[in-house]
Amino acid sequence: MSRYTAPLADMRFALYDVLGAEAILTNLNGGEGHTRDLLDAVLDEGARFNEQVLAPLNKSGDQEGCHFEAGTVRTPKGFKEAYKQFVDGGWAGLTAPADMGGQELPESIGAVFKEMIDSANLSWGTYPLLSHGATESLKAIGSDWQKEVFLKAIVDGRWTGTMCLTEPHCGSDLGLLKTRAEPAADGTYKIYGTKIFITAGEHDMTDNIVHLVLARLPDAPAGTRGISLFIVPKFKVNQAGEQGERNAVACGSIEHKMGIKASATCVMNFDGAEGYLIGEPNKGLAGMFIMMNTARLAVGLQGLGLMERAYQNALAYARDRLQMRSLTGAKRPDKPADPLIVHPDIRRMLLTQKAFIEAGRVLTYKAFVLVDVAHRGADETTRKNADDLLGFLTPIVKAMMTELAVENCYHALQIFGGHGYIQEWGMEQLARDARITTIYEGTTQIQALDLLGRKIMQVGRGECCTWRRIPCRKTGHHPLLLRPDPAAPRHPQGGPREWRRQHDGV
């Protein structure tokens, strides 16, 4: 079985020494208590939980997989109990608002903890994964009742959240969405349609599941401007927040996948299920994107977590396995052969892994520090600048950390040779698990479109030139410096070429 020890020293180095997070986090609004002592204690405890509770369930979960019987999903042995420990330990609401029952610790600390989960047991981590995104969406645009009933239950871990976007005929292209919502007399909606690839759409860890569902109202415009967002709980909830009868939403089947086999990937059928509109009609995509951006950063962390575990094991194996002599003469003449690590190409692979991880960790944590500053920075300019840079970095973190994870796991498996290809050592599981990360929450190709089309080229829509994310020829502003001139003129309508003509005079 593959091993995992939380790399606390490396994590602290990235967060504190490279990113200077101590000063940043204590300067957040309400961040006075975020002392290094406190945060370190949290991470120590998190390491214990992940090493001792989640990591031992990684291989068994992969081998057992999820069980689907008559609409219910049973998670692998030990998963439910581990979730209970997660909730009892207060981990579910680690970064959630205090007034919702959370501990309101920085997102960047939550990210370090989540990296450990993703190393210890990626599949298990997908159950609470989307609760975090649901929290963000509900916090931003949920009604008071929705926050009181659904957000609080998610924050304290009693219920989990899902994100129901994909349908059989539409994945990335949400404009094709067909699921429909019919208004009922009591102000609720009846949801009809089929969603696929719904992570943790059904499971046995909690009493209720809160689906966040994209659907169309009867009079909605075509395309993405006619999509609304709804809460559809597995069990209906009354005004007082009491859990009632089963809602008309059911899991039709679970997918048989290459990896993350212990994560239930569900087909969800909505047959007139009772739903509650979140935010405004036809503005659902904006709400979903709050969730989606959170999820994209979370998937970047998954890449990091997988890389760390793959590297730890490859390094240990390369030090232990004796095979052939060093080209520069025996390094262990007392042994029948030298350890693998003496061979140049093995070192190249290990150092590649290490470089990916060290640089990737700083990049990913940087994004989460920006989340903290964007939410709780001292003033509006600071928050806006952090949010701008975060928007730019999100597709980079998502795409880069996952593509590197695929490559990193390739190296780990290669270092193990034939032993990497068999289940016993755990490397092939990491490679299979990693392979989903470049796909879900938007493929690498979708991230590229987001980066180039929305974060760099999207100009001429009244946005300031800082949105172009390339140096402005007129003002010389470089977007990464985040020093836009507040007095800079806003730009006229028109495509990028027209904009460049008017703005830069070229």
Q: Which region among 48-56, 89-97, 288-296, 443-451 touches a copy of itself (by CB under 8 A)?
A: 443-451
Please report whether residue 173 would count as binding a copy of itself according to CB under 8 A.
Answer: yes
Please report whether residue 65 would count as binding a copy of itself according to CB under 8 A.
Answer: no
Nearest approach in angstroms of CB 444 to a copy of itself is 7
Q: Which of 30, 71, 175, 462 binds a copy of itself (CB under 8 A)?
A: 175
Q: Which of 428, 441, 463, 498 is catalytic?
A: 441
Judged by CB under 8 A, the number of residues near a copy of itself is: 47
Nearer to a copy of itself, 108 or 263 (CB): 263
How many whole angstroms separate alpha carbon 201 and alpha carbon 68? 12
Are 444 and 402 spatial neighbours (Cβ–Cβ below 8 Å)? Answer: yes
Nearer to a copy of itself, 33 or 175 (CB): 175
Q: Which of 187, 329, 418, 486 binds a copy of itself (CB under 8 A)?
A: 418
Q: Which region among 94-102, 275-283, 322-330, 385-393 touches a copy of itself (by CB under 8 A)?
A: 322-330
Tokens describing residue 233: 């709980």
Please report whether residue 495 would count as binding a copy of itself according to CB under 8 A.
Answer: no
Residues ≥6 apart with Cβ < 8 Å to 282: 217, 220, 221, 225, 226, 227, 228
Q: Which amino acid is at 286?
A: A
Instruction: Give yes or no: 255 in active site.
Output: no
Please report whether residue 300 would count as binding a copy of itself according to CB under 8 A.
Answer: no
Total count of residues recorded for the chain: 506
Residue of 439, 414, 437 whose CA lies nearest to 310: 414
DSSP string of 209-249, one letter each residue: EEEEEEEB-TTPPSGGGGBEEEEEESEEE-TT--EEEEPSE
Are 302 and 228 spatial neighbours (Cβ–Cβ below 8 Å)? Answer: no
Please report whether residue 139 would count as binding a copy of itself according to CB under 8 A.
Answer: no
Tokens describing residue 288: 């979903």
How many whole angstroms separate alpha carbon 455 and alpha carbon 446? 12
238 burial via Cβ count (<10 Å: 0-12, 13-18, 19+): exposed
Please report whether residue 337 would count as binding a copy of itself according to CB under 8 A.
Answer: yes
- Binding to a copy of itself by CB under 8 A, coded x per residue (else -) over 389-408, reads -----------------x--
Q: Which residue ranges make up the site for a copy of itself (CB under 8 A)?
A: 166, 169-173, 175-176, 196-197, 255-259, 265, 322-324, 336-337, 343, 345-346, 406, 410, 413-414, 417-418, 420-424, 428, 431-432, 435-436, 438-440, 443-445, 448
Residues with a catalytic annotation lie at 441
